[in-house]
Amino acid sequence: MKRAVEEILKFNEERDWDQFHNPENLAKSISIEAGELLECFQWNNEYDKQHVCEELADVMNYCILMADKLGVDMEEILLMKLEQNKKKYPVEKCKASSKKYTELIK
């Protein structure tokens, strides 16, 4: 991922697009691209894998730019969130269940 991040940041820098990439605009862009990803599955579960991968890459691209703009380490925040989720969703209570964590404590 290090090379991908470097290439994305270089691409952005070469085009002087950082001026448009404040956290608010990046959050909007993530949401817009996530909507386009969802659109790939709008009417049924048949999908064009290439198109799905392109939309997924767009979401990831903006997430990388957001992490950079916020000055956070992506691996660190992902692992931190995973630890939180492990506590919210202990294996013994949620294995093979799609219930939300608030329903698991009942």
Q: Which CATH superfamily is domain 1-72 in?
A: MazG-like (1.10.287.1080)
* Those residues with Cβ within 8 angstroms of residue 68's Cβ, 6 or more apart along the chain or in another chain: 5, 9
Which of 40, 41, 33 has the alpha carbon at shortest distance from 64?
33
For the segment 37-49, the average pLDDT, to the nearest whole number, is 95
Q: How far apart are CA 34 and CA 58, in angstroms?
A: 8
What average pLDDT is seen over the chain? 94
Give me the torsion for CA of 10, 11, 13, 15, rounded to 10°: 160
- Structure confidence by residue, pLDDT tens digits, 53-93: 999 999 999 999 999 999 999 999 999 999 999 999 999 88
Q: Residue ranges of the domains in the chain?
A: 1-72, 73-105
- pLDDT at 102 > cutoff 90: no
